[in-house]
Amino acid sequence: MAKKLSSVLGIDIGSHSIKVAEVKSSGNGATVTAIGVVPTPEGSVDYSGVYNSDEVGKALAEALKAAGATSTSAVVTIAGQQSVLVRVLPVPRMDVDKELKSHMEWEISKNIPFAETTIQSDYKVIEGGDQNSAEMEVVMAMAPQSAIDTIVDCIKKAGRKPYAIDVEPLGLARSMKSSFPQWANEYGVCIVDIGHSTTSINIYDQGNLVLPRPVPGGGEMVTRSLADAKQIGVQEAEDFKVNHFSIPAEAAANQGFANPFGGATQSFDGGFSVDAYAPVDPMSGATASMSPMDDLAIDPITGLPVEPAVSSAPTYANDPFSTSPAPVADVNSTMMMPASTQSSDADFGAVQGILEDLVGELQRSIDYYSSRGGNVSRVVLCGGGSKLRGLSGYLGRSLNISVEMYDAFNGLGFAAKKVGMEYVDEHRQELAVAIGNGLHIVY
């Protein structure tokens, strides 16, 4: 990042779609000059990261060409359970210029959660806070070198140059600062990015990230549940979800929903231990043994391995994260029932457990933030999964908090030549991270 650019490509590679947004600086603001959304090649990306850079690079090149994007440099998000870890750490207050670098190198080297030990990392001190406190907070990101190499390879194979690699929570923070500057003075703004296979819960204080938390599950689970319940193909279920399904206006989560992690919500510390990483079983108090795969399933809040669901928790035969998912009817089967053109109570019942689990994850994150003296003032939804009809109202009634849809285009100029506002409206929620990445040239 030796030179300042006047325009850049923001790229967000998801397991369901690849999103691109070209952003150009204009005076004190920014203008979106090209956007595009294309399907992710099947089998090339999942919730853990990018697997096939050849196919992703080819699809990305097609997306950029179709969008009419001319910028040569790109800022891309690295995401995935096995590809990146983002965490906010409380560290002893110290001289940022003289002492922090060596301290963070020590923190990172002692707490690498990946099987691969060759990593790239970065960190930044969170501004504000009590300057008289004994601690300060630092947001840190680390990724295996192989994941970095793969994402860079995707950009190069699309014919562009990598300018920076970002992480989703900071891209969203950049977007929020540009599109909703009034939130810069608010505490407890929670942006929930509901993707295809992963949901990211991010809480900000005065524009600074204070709690990043990815959880498995997204729009794919809703689609598969509808496919299973209606005995139709996945694509037909997706069409039904997009065009006809709606959460009933009076629906709300049962306030007695089970903690998806099992048992009562535990108290937890979001920081790293000063000792070598040795997770403790919350039930027995004994040090837990971990296999290399266990290292990849660390809860970003607790620092502990994610606990398996207890037998009393609801299970779904169509859970895409299950090791043995139940088969979904073949799209070409002649025995399939036609999809109803109207959403029914039975359809809602098919996805109710998934929605209640989402409420449970949100409540758990909000409770943790509250336990540290915070108060969530609003919840904002983005991502393709957020477009489910009635979702914002359902979450608002369930959490008793204001919930609204996020608009990353708010406050920005728009001068795309190849698409109109109808296309923008169709993909408005999906492009938040890509636009945030493009705003690297402004912030």
Q: Are residues 273 and 384 in the same domain?
A: no
Evaluate whether 20 touches 10 at the Cβ level (below 8 Å): yes
Instruction: Give 383-437 pLDDT, tens digit per residue.
Output: 999 999 999 999 999 999 999 999 999 999 999 999 999 999 999 999 999 999 9
- 250 and 334, same domain (yes or no): yes
Taking CA atoms, 239 is separated from 155, 324, 333, in Å, by 31, 25, 17
Looking at the fold, whether 188 and 175 belong to one and the same domain comes out as no
Across-strand partners of 22?
Answer: 9, 34
pLDDT tens readout for residues 76-112: 999 887 889 999 999 999 999 889 999 999 988 887 8
Contact by Cβ (8 Å): 406, 435: no
Written as one letter, the residue type at 328 is V
51 assigned to some structural domain = yes
Whether the pLDDT of residue 304 is over 70: the answer is: no
Please say which residue of 245, 280, 313 terminates a domain.
313
Residue 268: CA count within 13 A, CB half-sphere: 24
The amino acid at 243 = N
420 and 395 part of one domain: no
pLDDT of residue 262: 37
pLDDT of residue 177 exceeding 90: yes
Calpha distance 174→51 (Å, rounded): 28
Give percent of the chain with pLDDT exceeding 70.
79
Instruction: State whether 362 and 342 are in the same domain.
Output: yes
Residue 307 has pLDDT above 50, yes or no: no
pLDDT of residue 281: 34
Q: Which two tokens stand for residue 383?
A: 């991502």
Same domain, 281 and 428: no
User: Which one has a higher pLDDT value, 368 or 265?
Assistant: 368
pTM over 0.75: yes
Return the amino acid letter for 326: A
Residue 111 domain-assigned (yes or no): no
Is position 282 within any domain?
yes
Together in a domain, 194 and 336: yes
Both tokens of 90, joined, read: 């409380």
Q: Are strands 49-50 and 45-46 parallel, antiparallel or unpaired?
A: antiparallel
Q: How large is the average pLDDT for residues 165-177? A: 95
Domain identity same for 342 and 433: no
What HEC string does the chain produce?
CCCCCCEEEEEEECCCEEEEEEEEEECCEEEEEEEEEEECCCCCEECCEECCHHHHHHHHHHHHHHHCCCCCEEEEECCCCCCCEEEEEEEECCCCCCCHHHHHHHHHHHCCCCCCCCEEEEEEECCCCCCCCCEEEEEEEEEEHHHHHHHHHHHHHCCCEEEEEECHHHHHHHHHHHHCHHHHHCEEEEEEEECCCEEEEEEEECCEEEEEEEEECCHHHHHHHHHHHHCCCHHHHHHHHHHCCCCCCCCCCCCCCCCCCCCCCCCCCCCCCCCCCCCECCCCCCECCCCCCHHHCECCCCCCECCCCCCCCCCCCCCCCCCCCCCCCCCCCCCCCCCCCCCCHHHHHHHHHHHHHHHHHHHHHHHHHHHCCCCCCEEEEECHHHHCCCHHHHHHHHHCCCEEECCCCCCCEECCCCCCHHHHHHHCCCCHHHHHHHHHHCC
CATH number, domain with residue 224: 3.30.420.40
* Within-domain flag for 136: no
pLDDT digits (tens, 9 = 90+) for 11-31: 999 999 999 999 999 877 899
CB 142 within 8 A of CB 148: no
**Mean of the per-residue pLDDT values of the chain:** 82
pLDDT band for position 337 (50/70/90)? Answer: very low
Question: Do both 210 and 354 map to the same domain?
Answer: yes
Contact 244, 160 (CB under 8 A): no
Verify that 325 and 390 share a domain, yes or no.
Answer: yes
Report whether pLDDT(368) > 90.
Answer: yes
CA-nearest of 235, 182, 220, 221 to 204 is 182
Backbone CA torsion sign across 347, 351, 352, 355? negative
Residue 101 lies in a domain: no
Q: Is residue 92 part of a domain?
A: no
Identify the pLDDT of residue 125: 92
The mean pLDDT value for 298-306 works out to: 42
pLDDT of residue 342: 63
Residue 338 to residue 231: CA distance in whole angstroms: 9
Cα–Cα dist 136/125, whole Å: 8
Among residues of the chain, what percentage have pLDDT more than 90? 67
Domain membership of residue 280 (yes or no) is yes
- Min mean pLDDT across 58-67, 319-328, 350-359, 369-378 is at 319-328
Residue pair 231/346 in contact (Cβ under 8 Å)? The answer is no
Both 163 and 217 in one domain: the answer is: no
Total domains, the chain? 3
How confident is residue 224, by pLDDT bands cut at 50, 70 and 90?
A: very high
Q: Is the pLDDT of residue 268 over 60?
A: no
Asked if the structure places residue 198 within a domain, the reply is yes
How far from the centroid of its chain's Cα atoms is residue 261's Cα?
19
9 closest CA partner among 171, 143, 173, 178 = 171
Instruction: Give mean pLDDT, residues 25-46.
Output: 92
Across 131-145, 225-239, 291-305, which has the greatest mean pLDDT? 225-239
Task: Give yes or no: residues 356 and 250 share one domain.
Answer: yes
**Rounded to whole angstroms, how far apart are CA atoms 248 and 353?**
14
Final residue in a domain of this structure, among 275, 296, 313? 313
Domain hosting 32: range is 7-84+141-179+410-441
CA distances (Å), origin 431, targets 36, 39, 344, 361: 9, 14, 30, 23
